[in-house]
Amino acid sequence: MKLRKLLYGLCAGLLVQASAAQTLEKMQWFNEPEQWEINGNALTMDVTPQTDYWRISHYGFTVDDAPFLYTLRGGEFEVKVKISGDYVTRFDQSGLMLRLDHENYIKAGIEFVDGKYNLSTVVTHHTSDWSIIPLDKPVPYVWIKAVRRLDAVEIFYSFDDKTYTMMRNAWLEDNHPVMVGVMGACPDGKGFKAKFEHFTIKHLPDMRRVQWLEKNKAE
């Protein structure tokens, strides 16, 4: 009996892990780069030179041509990934992206600016904005996590996948399928190598439905 319970527990744990994992091979490219490789649950890519995601504000131009590997998700979820890169040139960047369309998206990760590493978030709703958290020194990698709940996306960073700190809370239309995945951009340079590891998505129960069920419990 104890052995049966142990086996059942192991199987249940594997099912939970499987439900959280997203197979990179089954994801789709938007602006596929020339060189990329998937090995296990890790993606490495040569970020295409002279590419970015940005709309209008401050610079007066729109670009929508950087590599983005994504899957389509509805509802509420938590997504996270470990990112690293050989950043060289101003604005070299890599991270997560959630995208409804070319006018509505959020990207968050590391951005290399004026020789320094910055935790960076760009939120775009017709026009783009940009917020950063400067880091005191270069880091070998960082974990970025985004939690989509109703019409909000909370974005967090971590250096150990244990302690997460919020870096942004942004609006994103709810009840709308969203493309979610990893991106790299190199607006000014000749490209660089970026790596994404342990990409996972975990489904979260719809908050409104959970609240409705709580109010309407069966007697």
Residue 5 lies in a domain: no
Please give the residue range of the domain that contains residue 120. Answer: 25-211
162: domain CATH number? Answer: 2.60.120.200
Residue 154 lies in a domain: yes
Torsion sign across C-alpha atoms 172, 178, 181, 183: negative
Number of domains in the chain: 1
Residue 7 lies in a domain: no
Torsion sign across C-alpha atoms 17, 22, 24, 26: positive
Q: Which residue is listed with tokens 């994801």? A: 27
* Cα separation, 182 vs 185, whole angstroms: 11
pLDDT tens, residue order, the chain (219 aa) = 444 444 444 444 444 444 456 789 999 999 999 999 999 899 999 999 999 999 999 999 999 999 999 999 999 999 999 999 999 999 999 999 999 999 999 999 999 998 999 999 999 999 999 999 999 999 999 999 999 999 999 999 999 999 999 999 999 999 999 999 999 999 999 999 999 999 999 999 999 999 999 999 876
- Helices (runs of H) and strands (runs of E) counted in the chain: 2, 16
